[in-house]
Structure 1
Amino acid sequence: MSRKFEISVPASSANIGPGFDVLGLALAKFLVINVEIDSSKTSDRKDPNNCIITYEGEGADGVPLDSDHNLVTRVALYVLRCNGIRSFPSGTFVHVNNPIPLGRGLGSSGAAVVAGVMLGNEVGKLGFSKQRMLDYCLMIERHPDNITAAMMGGFVGSYLRELSAADLERVEIPLAEVLPEPAGGRDTGLVPPEPPLNIGHHIKYDWCREIKAIVVIPNFEVSTASARGVLPTAYTASDMIFNLQRLAVLTTALTRSPPQADLIYQAMQDKVHQPYRKTLIPGLPEILASVTPKTHEGLLGICLSGAGPTILALATDNFETIAKEIVSRFNKEGIDCRWEVQELAYDGSNVKQL
C-alpha cells in the first residue's frame, strides 16, 4: 500500500537588528517536501538508502540528489539511525520544491534541517513532538534563531544550551555548516548520539499583524562561514550594552498596535554584526542609514536578514517604494535584486497526510 504525505517548512529571517543569534521571524515562503512510500514502485536510479530524490527550485543545478549527500535526507537518516532504523523504507520517493534562495540570509539550510528531522520522524513513525524534533535540529544546526522560527513559526526568541565537544564530534551528526563534506552522510554502522532533552529553549512573542516584511534579495550569496569569519572574537561593554538595551525594547515594540516607527527604527540598530559585514555586502552602510521612517513613510525598521546579503525592512505601508529604494541602492553598486513582501508564517512547519 502506498503512503503519501507533505512537509512544509517556512523560510526565516534571523538576528532582526540587535537580536544576533537570538531573534527569528518565520516567513510565509515554504520549502515543500512531497513524499511517497511505495515498495511496488521502481526507478532507474538506485540509492543505498532506498530513497530517490527529485528537486526543483532554487539551486536546482547544484543540489545533490543522493541521500548520503542531500541535506534533507542526511538529516532524516541521522534521526532514523538514532532510533534503530538504518535506511528509508523500500520505495521511498522524495520530491523537494524549494523557493528559498540559498546563501542569502533567509534560512535555507535551517529549513532543510527542519524538513529533514520531520521527514525522519514521519518515515520512522517516531511520534516526536515539535519540541523534541527541535533537539534533533539543534544538534545539526547550532543557530537556534533560524531553526526555532522555522519549526515553531511566528516571532521567536531562543537560546541554546551549551554542549560539550564530545556531544558534537561524532561523524554521524551531519552538521549543516560543514556541508557539502560527505563524512556525515556515510553509514558507519554505529548508532549516532541521541540529542539531549531540551537543548533549545524559546519564547514565541506576539506580533503586530499590521507589520509586513519586505525582503530585498541581491543576486549573490554570502556563506555563513564567511559572515561569521569577519566578526570579532570580543566586544566592548558599550557595544554589548547598546544591543541589549535595544533588544529589550524591540521584542515588545513589535507586538503593539499601532506600531511606533521612531521607537522600532532606533531599537533595530546594531553594533554586534552589521558593522563588520559591510565588507561582504556592497552599499550596506548607505542602505541602512538612508532608508528611515523620516524618508519613507510606512517604514518601521531595517536590518540585514541573517548573515545577509538580503535586507529585511519592516513596514506597514508604502512597500513598493521602500523596496525600490533599497534595490536602487544595490543597483548603484552593480548588483541586481528582487524583492517580495511577506506575511509571517505563524504556525511554522507542518506535515499533511495526502
Structure 2
Amino acid sequence: MPTFVINVPATSANIGPGFDVMGLSLSLYLTVTAEVSDAANAVTIAYEGANSDGLSCDPKSNLITSTTLYVLQCNGINVLPSCSLRINNRIPLGRGLGSSGAAVVAGVLLANALGSLNLSRQRMLDYCLMIEHHPDNVAAALVGGFVASYLIDVDRSGNIPASEAPPSATLDEQRERELRALAADASLTLPPENIGHFVQLECSSAIRAVAVIPQFELATSKARAALPSTYETRDVVFNLQRLAVLTTALGRKCPDPWLIFRAMEDRVHQPYRMHLVPGLPEILASFNPDNTPGLLGICLSGAGPTILALAVSDFDAIAAKLQAVLARHDVDSKYQVLDIVSEGASCESQS
C-alpha cells in the first residue's frame, strides 16, 4: 500500500503594509506521513514533536482530516480511506506563522492523494479558501516564495463563506460547524472556480527572515477585534504607496535597506495591535538599518505575536537585539533564522 509524505511550509502574512494581501513561505514545515492500509474504516492520527499540545487526534475534529473529508465528499468519496497519519508539526501554534493555514493546505493535499483527484494548484486553493477565507497564508503555503493574492468579491460569488472566524490549529466550535455544514451537502458547496488569485513576486536570494517568537499565543480573533471598522484615507494611501514599492524592492539583487525599511511601514493594522505584544512599540520606533546592521525591515508576522525581521546579514545579532527588548518587557521569546523558500507544499508518494 502507498505512503504519502506531505510537507507544507510556514508562512508570514502582511509583511508590513500588505495587510491580508502579501505572504512569504518560510523554511519551517508541517509534515504529514500517511500510510494507506486495507483495514476497514480505520484512520489513526499520532502527533510527533513539540508543537502538538491541544491538537486533536480524532479524525472527526482534527483540522487536517476534517479538511480532507470535506474535499473528498465534494468529489463523491464519502468516507476517509483507511490510513495511519503521523504528523510532525514544527510550526508554532497561534504565533502568526500560518499554522492553521498549513493544516488546511495539508488536508487538501492529502485528499488529492488519497482520492487520486488530480487537482490543480488553483483548484486546491479554491478548496483552501472555502475553509480559511483569507488567501495570504494559504496561497504562499501552496505555491511558495513571495506571494501577492486577492479573493473574489464574496457578495458576487454567493457560495464563499464570508466568515471572519479566527484560524486555529484545532477546530473551534464555529470552524467545526462550518466544515460539517460544508461536508453535509457537497453538491451545494463544491467551490466555485478561481475563488482566489495570486502572483509570485521576486524576492532576493540574499534576504532571510529572522522570526522572534514570543512564548505566548495570540488569537487571531483578538488581533482582528483590535482593528478599526473604518480608516482615514491618508492612512490607506500611506499603505498603498509603500506596498507598491515593496513588491519590487524585495526582488532587487542588492536590496536597498532604507527603501525596504520605509516600505515596510504600516498604518492599517500594526498601530492597533502593538499593545498586544509588549515591547513591539519600542522595536518599531527604535530599530532601523543604521543602528542595526543587516536589517532591512521589521513587522508583525501575520496577526502576531511573532516579530519578523527581514535581513541580509547579522541574523543572530538582530534576533538577540529584538529579544533583549522583549525581555525588558517581561516577554520570553525564542527565535529562528529562516530561508524564504521558493517551493510550496509538496506531496510525494512512496511505495
Taking structure 1 as the reference length, the TM-score comes to 0.93
Q: Is the 8 A contact 1:148 1:202 kept in 2?
A: yes
Query: What 5-or-longer segments of structure 2 have no aligned partner?
Result: none
Alignment of 1:225-240 (within 5 A): 225-240=221-236
- In 2, Cα distance between equivalents of 1:318 and 1:175: 35
72, 89, 92: which one aligns with 1:101:
92
- In 1, Cα distance between equivalents of 2:256 and 2:298: 14
Structure-1 residue corresponding to 2:214: 218
Q: CA deviation at 1:278?
A: 1.3
Q: CA deviation at 1:59?
A: 3.8
Q: CA deviation at 1:257?
A: 1.7
Structure-2 residue corresponding to 1:245: 241
Equivalent residue of 1:145, what SS?
A: helix
Q: Is the 8 A contact 2:160 2:191 kept in 1?
A: no
Question: Is 1:272 paired with 2:263?
Answer: no
Structure-1 residue corresponding to 2:103: 112
- In 1, Cα distance between equivalents of 2:342 and 2:162: 35
- In 1, Cα distance between equivalents of 2:311 and 2:293: 9
- In 2, Cα distance between equivalents of 1:71 and 1:170: 19
Q: CA deviation at 1:3?
A: 1.3
Q: 1:170 to 1:86 in 2, by over 3 A?
A: farther
- In 1, Cα distance between equivalents of 2:72 and 2:19: 32
Question: Is 1:281 paired with 2:280?
Answer: no
Equivalent residue of 1:243, what SS?
A: helix
Letter of the 1:300 partner, please give it. Answer: L
- In 2, Cα distance between equivalents of 1:169 and 1:15: 22
Q: 1:119 to 1:256 in 2, by over 3 A?
A: same
55, 60, 75: which one aligns with 1:83:
75
Q: Is the 8 A contact 2:204 2:250 kept in 1?
A: yes
- In 2, Cα distance between equivalents of 1:68 and 1:185: 10
Q: 1:13 to 1:169 in 2, by over 3 A?
A: closer
- In 1, Cα distance between equivalents of 2:101 and 2:241: 28
- In 1, Cα distance between equivalents of 2:122 and 2:166: 19
Q: 1:168 to 1:176 in 2, by over 3 A?
A: farther
- In 1, Cα distance between equivalents of 2:327 and 2:240: 34
Runs of at least 4 residues off by over 6 Å: none
Structure-1 residue corresponding to 2:177: 183
Structure-2 residue corresponding to 1:72: 64
Percent of pairs with identical residues: 50
Structure-2 residue corresponding to 1:61: 53
Q: 1:5 to 1:341 in 2, by over 3 A?
A: same
- In 1, Cα distance between equivalents of 2:162 and 2:271: 35
Q: Is the 8 A contact 2:104 2:128 kept in 1?
A: yes
Equivalent residue of 1:30, what SS?
A: strand
Q: Is the 8 A contact 1:26 1:346 kept in 2?
A: yes
175, 199, 212: which one aligns with 2:195:
199
Q: Is the 8 A contact 1:3 1:37 kept in 2?
A: yes
Equivalent residue of 1:279, what SS?
A: helix
- In 2, Cα distance between equivalents of 1:175 and 1:271: 22
Alignment of 1:121-200 (within 5 A): 121-164=112-155, 167-168=159-160, 176=167, 179-181=171-173, 182-184=176-178, 186=180, 189-191=184-186, 193-200=189-196
Q: 1:28 to 1:225 in 2, by over 3 A?
A: same
- In 2, Cα distance between equivalents of 1:330 and 1:51: 43
What's the CA shift string for 1:109-157, capped at 9, x where partnerless?
0000100011111111100011110000011111111010000100010
Question: Is 1:311 paired with 2:310?
Answer: no
Taking structure 2 as the reference length, the TM-score comes to 0.93
Q: Which structure shows the bigger proportion of residues in helix conformation?
A: 2
Letter of the 1:69 partner, please give it. Answer: S
**Number of aligned residue pairs:** 343
- In 1, Cα distance between equivalents of 2:185 and 2:234: 48
Equivalent residue of 2:320, what SS?
A: helix
Query: What 5-or-longer segments of structure 1 have no aligned partner?
Result: 43-48
Q: Is the 8 A contact 1:24 1:145 kept in 2?
A: yes
Q: Is the 8 A contact 2:7 2:31 kept in 1?
A: yes
